[in-house]
Homo-oligomer: A and B are copies of this chain.
Amino acid sequence: MNTGIIDIIEKVTEIFKTFLKRGDYRQTPERFAILKEIYHKDSHFTIEELYEDMLNKKFRISRATVYNTIKLLLKSNLVVKHQFDDNSAHFEKTFKTKQHGHMICTICKKVIEFQDTELYHIQKGVEKNFGFEVHSTTLTFYGLCKDCLKN
């Protein structure tokens, strides 16, 4: 499992390097450190969580740099952004990650992921019908989870 993660991080680092070169962006240690941290995570995160995780690992960094780098990662499609129904944006890595949706419990705020193949068909449908080119997708169901339904 660990070797898998290392391989993936190597790969996305390459992709990011290429992206930076092409866009005339500089290759700073902060940018690679943030990418690495994100790809070590298994789940969603907010900017604040990412920022604190890096501080905890004694990596000296500022919020502004995290915001700046996330923008580049979004542009390079290595990360996607989700705006759930709270005030802060949530992010996820994309490389080697399957397309999925989210269920959010409006009581306990839990976020549950689910895989779906039909989603892909819907996407193909709108691309065909509207001449729209889809870059990223957010499917979110809000409601009550199993545990909260019991109460």
A residues apposed to B, CB below 8 Å: 81, 83-85, 101, 103, 105-106, 112, 114, 116, 118-119, 121-123, 125-126, 129-146, 149
Contact, CB under 8 Å: A123 / B141: yes
Closest CB pairs A-B (n = 4): A83-B83, A131-B146, A135-B143, A134-B143
This chain: how many copies in the complex? 2
Query: Within the complex, which residue of B83, B123, B126, B141 is in contact with A126, where a contact is CB–CB below 8 Å?
Result: B141
Contact, CB under 8 Å: A135 / B142: yes
Contact, CB under 8 Å: B135 / A138: no
Specify which chain B residues have a CB less than 8 angstroms from the CB of A135 in the assembled complex.
Answer: 106, 142-144
CA distance A142 to B126 in the complex (A): 11
